Structures are given as structure tokens and as C-alpha cells.
Amino acid sequence: MMGSFIEVRDLTKIYHVGEQHVEALKGINLDIEESDFAVFMGHSGSGKTTLVSVIGGLTKPTGGTVRIEGVDIWSHDDKAISKFRNKKIGFCFQSFSLLPSLDVMNNIVMPLIFANGGKKDRDKIREKAVSMLRELDMVEKVAAFPSELSGGEQRRVAIVRALMNDPDIILADEPTGELDIRTEQEVIEIFRHINEEYKKTVIVVSHTLAWIEKAKKVFVMKDGVLYENVADPVTLLMGGC
Ligand code: ADP
Ligand code: MG
């Protein structure tokens, strides 16, 4: 029988730093369905980035499995994992922010042009970028540099870049970090749109409570342990349980 779209079982991650062992994931189990909108809340250091990096094929787990459409992604070699990443997942991670020396168009198309090994389909890729920028009200900024954009505009460019390879899954780590409340709402609305209109599976890590009402599934992480179907995530985050 086919399991969930994303099925995580007994997932552990231990980081070894000198003599220290940090248990970042302590046996995580979770299921996410196709077109789900899942949000992971939790304090800094609780293991959120580690978890989404393992799900996205970026960080190798210590134990357990991540199955996506039935495929145990970590059973493959590096080349196959990177192929899976490029095809299936759009990353919107803070650490992959925009390159200051490239304009908006080049920030969006460069990763895909590199992945395609150079010249192939350049015009098509640019056309797609323009049409997605238009959809997010950003087409007039196509030649702007990141330093000429507001925080919200920069996020929109990063979102377009993440969508360029038409991934099934969007993984976003703190996509509303350091934004004012109004811009934060705009960015949340874009993710909702991507989920509802494009039917993408959206997985977001954030400590902003504003996601809770938009998400279909809310998970709370505390010290490497995941809690699901939490009736009151705020109380849990504030100490509780
Ligand atoms: P969050 O995203 O919730 O802030 P992280 O997944 O970044 O949490 O971190 C979880 C724990 O793992 C923390 O104790 C952190 O210090 C540790 N950690 C994360 N990445 C590394 C790493 N590359 N090497 C060593 N320890 C790490
Ligand atoms: Mg983090």
C-alpha cells in the first residue's frame, strides 16, 4: 500500500562537534500529504532547520527514513539525491539569499541555467521568470539589484527562484524573518496562493504565529521532538506540556 506523500519515520540526527553530541532530531515521525500546507513552529535551536534540510535532501540523517512518493531518498547516492532535489524541491532558505551582484532576472534564472548545463532553453527560462514576476507584481523590478528592493520584494524574488523548476514541494525556512507585520502578511499570502492555485505542497518553518491560521497542518518542535495536532501551539511554545 502506498504511504503518505511525505513519510518520515524514526528520524534522528546527531551532530558531533568535538567531544559534544547534539541530538537535533530525536526520532521524528510525520506524514504530509500532497498539496498540504504544513508549518513547523518552535524556538531557536529546536531542530526545525535540521528537519527540513533532511526532508529536502540537504542534510544526511543519522537514522530513520524519509520517503517521498514511496522513495526512500537517503538510500540513494549523492548524485541521485541531488537530481531528486533539483526536480522535486524548491528551496526558500535564508542561507540561499539573493546574490547582490546579480539583478533580479539573473538571480532567478542563474541556478536553473547552471543546472541545465549552460545555454539550453535560456529564452524559455527567461520568459517563465517574467511571467512569474508578473504574477507576483514584480515585473517592473526585473532589472533591479537586490539592494534596490524592499525586504518583501526580495522575498518575492526568492520565491520565484524557488518555483522556477516547477517543484512539487516548496521548503521555506523562516521566509518571513525580519519583515514588518504588513509585509509578513503579504509573504504569507503568496505562500497560500502557491499552495491553493499551483497545488504545491508547502512546508514552512517559522516562529511567527501568523502562519497558524493559514496552515492546514501545524507542527511544534521542542528540543528535537515533534508535536502534531497541537490544540494550543502558543501554550506549548510558551512552556506548557
Ligand atoms: P532551529 O532551526 O530550530 O533553530 P537547528 O536545526 O538549526 O534548529 O539546530 C538544532 C540543534 O542542532 C541546535 O542545538 C544546533 O546548535 C545544532 N546544530 C545545527 N546545525 C548544526 C551543525 N551543522 N553542526 C553542529 N550542530 C548543529
Ligand atoms: Mg533554523
In the chain, the percentage of residues whose pLDDT exceeds 70 is 96
Residue 234: what pLDDT?
Answer: 80
Give 208's pLDDT tier (boundaries 50, 70, 90): confident
Average pLDDT over residues 72-92: 94
Q: Cα dist. 117→12, 80, 81, 161, 236 in Å?
A: 35, 17, 18, 17, 48
Q: Is the pLDDT of residue 240 over 60?
A: no
**Rounded distance from Cα 148 to ligand 1 centre (Å):** 32
Our mutation pick for probing the ligand 1 site, out of 50, 94, 203, counting the most ligand atoms within 8 A of Cβ, is 50
Atom of ligand 1 nearest to the CA of 17: 25
Query: Which atom of ligand 1 sits closest to the CA of residue 44?
Result: 4
Between the alpha carbon of residue 60 and those of residues 54, 187, 206, 229, the distances in Å are: 6, 30, 22, 27
pLDDT at 118: 62
Do strands 201-205 and 169-173 pair parallel, antiparallel, or not at all (unpaired)?
parallel
Does the pLDDT at position 241 exceed 60? no
Q: What is the pTM (predicted TM-score) of this model?
A: 0.93
Ligand 1 lining (C-beta closer than 6 Å) = 15, 17, 22, 24, 42, 44-50
Alpha carbon of 53 to ligand 2 centroid (Å): 10
Tally of CA atoms within 13 A in the half-sphere of 172 that contains its CB? 31
Q: Specify the pLDDT at position 8.
A: 98
* pLDDT, position 105: 97
Which grid coordinates are listed for 54?
533532511
More confident position, 208 or 229 = 208
Question: What pLDDT, on the 0 to 100 scale, is given for residue 236?
Answer: 81
> Rounded to whole angstroms, how far apart are CA atoms 79 and 44?
32
Model pLDDT for residues 167-199, shown as the tens digit of each residue: 999 999 999 988 899 999 999 999 999 999 999
Residue 159, pLDDT > 90, answer yes
Ligand whose nearest atom lies closest to the CA of 51: 1
Q: What crossing angle do the helices spanning 104-115 and 151-163 adopt, rounded to 10°?
A: 20
**How many A from CA of 207 to the centre of ligand 2?**
10
Q: What is the predicted pLDDT for the residue at 94?
A: 79
Distance 22 CA to ligand 1 centre (A): 8
Residue 141, φ and ψ in degrees, nearest 5: -100, 10
- Ligand 1 atom nearest the C-alpha of 43 is 3
The more confidently predicted of residues 44 and 237 is 44
184 vs 95: which has the higher pLDDT: 184
Q: Compute the distance from residue 26 Cα to the ligand 1 centre, in Å.
A: 13
